[in-house]
Amino acid sequence: MSDLIQIVYASRSTFPLLPAENGIEPSVARILAQSRINNPRCGLVGGLFFGDGCFFQCVQGRAEDVDRLYVALLQDPRHNDLKVLSRRPVAQATFATWSMKYASLNSAMRMLLERRGLDRFDPYQFDGATVDEVLGMLQASEGVTPSEMLGRSVDLPFVTLPAKRDRRALRVAHVALAMAVVALVVVLAGLWMRNT
């Protein structure tokens, strides 16, 4: 039997909401980028929706890894009021190709909320059937890829790639830096040989 589990939880953002840049609130984009770096190291995968100041997130992995992450999330100052909506074993990870998938609140989600009598995205109001339906929508969505995120003007200080037109200049700078390091090594070796 597999020791994989998934938890689905809701939380409320504590950061001031800024206008979304091409569909992603900037603080959420930073959280997403950080998750996409950290989750593979921890053996975790998952997906999230964010809207109206609320997170709906699913995390899948080994029970001990998921539990360790959840304890860390309880201490994360970027959100509060964490509530586990679902916790269950899974035979296999359904987000296996995503370290952290992000799906926008599209028209299908708005229609689901309307059918459920909700005027905003509030996972705290979801019953079990709605949690399962929203999770299914998250799994079925295309998601926002890391390259799409990098195409957005989001401040990601730990993930910065130059635009394609600037990559040649970057390669030239790397070559120049490498040559400078070689020159420094040659000078230091010459000084060492002269003093010995």
Question: Domain with 81 in it: what CATH number?
Answer: 3.30.70.100
CB 123 within 8 A of CB 85: yes
Q: Give the β-pairing of 4-13 and 54-62.
A: antiparallel
Which token pair is 75? 């201490």
Burial class (CB in 10 A: 0-12, 13-18, 19+), 49: buried
Looking at residue 146, what is its pLDDT?
Answer: 54
pLDDT interval class at 104 (50, 70, 90): confident
> Is 69 a domain residue?
yes
Looking at residue 181, what is its pLDDT?
Answer: 57
Residues 62 and 129 in one domain: yes
Looking at residue 123, what is its pLDDT?
Answer: 96
Looking at residue 131, what is its pLDDT?
Answer: 95
Q: For 140-182, how does the pLDDT look when each residue is reduced to its tens digit (9 = 90+)?
A: 888 776 555 544 433 333 333 333 334 455 555 555 555 655 6
Q: Domain range holding 94?
A: 4-150
Residues 118 and 192 in one domain: no
> Is 114 a domain residue?
yes
Residues 122 and 43 in one domain: yes
Residues 109 and 13 in one domain: yes
For residues 172 and 109, the model is more confident at: 109
> Is 38 a domain residue?
yes
Residues 102 and 170 in one domain: no
For residue 37, the tally of other CB atoms under 10 A from its CB is 13
Residues 21 and 70 in one domain: yes
Q: What are phi and psi of 177, to 5 degrees?
A: -65, -45
> Is 155 a domain residue?
no
